[in-house]
Amino acid sequence: MRALLRAAPRRLHPAGRLVRRYPLGTAGAAIILVAVIAAAGADVLATHDPTRIDAAHTFLAPSAGHWLGTDYLGRDIYSRLMHGARVSLAVGITCSLLGGLVGGGLGLASGYAGGAVAFVIQPVLDIMQGFPLLVLALVMTAALSPSLATTIIAISVPFVPRVARVVRAAVLSIRETSYVEAATALGMSRLRIAVRHIFPNTISPLIVMTTAQLGSAILVEASLSFLGLGVPEPYPSWGRMLSVSAAEFAQKAPWLVIFPGVAISLVVFASNLLGDALRDFLDPRLRI
């Protein structure tokens, strides 16, 4: 027993050292973890039905019955925040992963294959990147009917050229290294070299880009919902909660704006902190 007690701090030492070295990144990961737990356990954590309308209890201030108050339809703000985390995080995580995977694949193909492949891919990506993220998402959402799938597609597509550009830059530097030239001299196929030697070395910037885009995806989803082009009712999302409240009821019932605004700000800020910490951790040049 004494040996186990003495060994426990040693096993925990690397984790503690990581926390001390990247305290802001750890705080960001903790905030995102709390948001994920809230989204996963929304059915248990919510105190009311998030879509139930109660005209007799509209604009109630935070109280014991309604922890964060009610909105203009009498719906419980706390319960809508819990369920809204599902939509906002699902959109953010899915868009980040889709943009990262598609953009990473296109960047790898364009950077390593070059030639006709790059001639076809790069002009399209350059044109897409010429549009601001929110503008391109607005155009795609307006062209399609508002839905959860449409929102995910509209936000994922603008991420593709941004990820592809970073991955392509990494591939262009990696393909000139000695071990890639050695693999080519040994007769390995281009596909095997790309999968076994080049792609693993692009994972670090790909992870950093995917993590950084999480906050951007949540912000864009909130902006689309605020403009009425995001996830439609009855699905509660943090941006949808702000869409009506911010314009009409902010002075009368400020809690309608404060709580979803704080939730969006915290998660976006946490994703940026986590992305910075991952960049420092995965880049050997920044290690001490």
Residue 14: the pLDDT is 57
- CATH tag for 76-286 (out of 3.30.465.10, 3.30.460.10, 1.10.3720.10, 2.60.120.380): 1.10.3720.10
d(CA 240, CA 275): 26
**Where do the structural domains in the chain lie, given as residue ranges?**
76-286
Residue 7: the pLDDT is 47
> Tens digit of pLDDT for each residue in 140-164?
887 777 788 888 888 898 899 989 9
pTM of the shown model: 0.80
Residue 285: the pLDDT is 54
For 9, how many CA atoms within 13 A lie in the half-sphere containing its CB?
Answer: 4
Of the candidate ranges 22-26, 34-38, 239-243, 270-274, the one whose mean pLDDT is the lowest: 239-243
Position of tokens 């393909």?
175
Residue 286: the pLDDT is 54
Q: Over 70: is that where the pLDDT of 230 sits?
A: yes
d(CA 257, CA 72): 12
> Tens digit of pLDDT for each residue in 17-62?
667 888 888 999 999 999 999 999 999 999 998 888 888 888 999 9
Residue 5: the pLDDT is 41
Residue 131: the pLDDT is 81
Average model confidence (pLDDT) for the chain?
A: 83
The share of the chain scoring above pLDDT 90, in percent, equals 17
* Better-scored residue on pLDDT, 6 or 193: 193
d(CA 247, CA 280): 40
> Tens digit of pLDDT for each residue in 61-93?
999 989 999 988 899 999 999 998 988 888 889
* Better-scored residue on pLDDT, 13 or 52: 52
| DSSP state for residue 64 in the 8-state scheme | S
* Better-scored residue on pLDDT, 134 or 31: 31
Q: In this structure, is the dihedral angle defined by the CA atoms of residues 275, 281, 284 and 286, taken in order, positive or negative?
A: positive
Helix (H) or strand (E) holding 162: helix 148-174
The token pair at 44 is 């248990």
Roughly what angle, to the nearest 10 degrees, separates helices 133-143 and 203-226? 60
**E strand residue ranges, 161-238:** none
Mean pLDDT across 113-128: 85
pLDDT band per the 50, 70, 90 thresholds, residue 4: very low
> Tens digit of pLDDT for each residue in 205-223?
888 888 888 888 888 888 8
